[in-house]
Structure 1
Amino acid sequence: MSCKSKASKGLRKYWRKFCNKKWVFATKDKTFRLLEHQEFAGSSNNYVKVKGDKSPYDGDLVYWSTRMGRHPEMPQRKAFLLKQQKGSCSWCNLKFREEDILEIDHIQAISLGGKDEWQNLQLLHGHCHDRKTAYDSTKLRELKSTQYWEKLAQELLKLNYLWIDDIPVIIES
């Protein structure tokens, strides 16, 4: 027996060919193997460098809530939404700043059939929230108007009437 075969005996015992790769540390039946460094979950987005002179104690609630998803001085819902939206307003797509008024809004208004769930919440600037509320109110008026005319049309179909000089005249039955 040569020195070369003795040296490679240990290699063959623990190191295997696995998925077109040579020298993978694995069990004999290849059910378990040692993961390589690049196979671990995680990306460079998970580890974002803290900006230059930032500190959790400097009072920048927007920055730290966006970064961490929580801050002791920020309500939990707002901090969570800030992180989820990556610090941007859903309506105008501008970044939130420290002096901005942040308001929570329902993506689909509850009055228009939306639900009060996390998936239906968004964080908006105060003025963007005003514009979205005006838009939702317009949609609600359109919906109610449509429902009113549909109901009126159904009621008219139940009646016996004749058109006389562009005026519907009800005929008693």
Structure 2
Amino acid sequence: MSQLGKFITIILATSTLALTGCASKNKKSQVMVAPLGVGHGGNMGGYYGGPLVNNSDAIRNAARNIQGVVYFDFDSDAIKPEAARILDQQAQFLNSNQGARVQVAGHTDERGTREYNMSLGERRAAAVRSYLAGKGVNTANIEIISFGEEQPAATGSNEAAWSKNRRAELSY
């Protein structure tokens, strides 16, 4: 084989390795993203894959007494002081009920691309998970999902509607 042939073979082999990478990569995020176009109560964007968390009736009933929605500023995943008060109650409940599992669903308003909003919803849910973990909650008991803009709490193209849609919902 000529020098040029060897050189081309080496370049092709190196390119193939670089493009395919390692087949056994570790998961970096345990987030579920709501699929595009799945219906939910007449709205587009719901998730029908089954519950992400499975708790006893006693846990679900006890959790009903805790506020389960926190709100975010525009284009932000920062936990606001009023959200921190709600999450402190959630953390206390979860630490008192070690077997309880919670789903945190991140949502956004309609502004931005679908891809950006799915990412922002994930960041919001992850921020809630991180906050709870900082309060001693076992992250193995927290599942996150992003719905982006797909499940608005309010409709309309104004700040009143948008502010209700920029949220994370905790459910048991």
TM-score (norm 1): 0.23
Q: Which one has a bigger Cα radius of gyration?
A: 1
Taking CA–CA contacts closer than 8 Å with sequence separation of 6 or more, which of the two structures ends up with the larger relative contact order?
A: 2
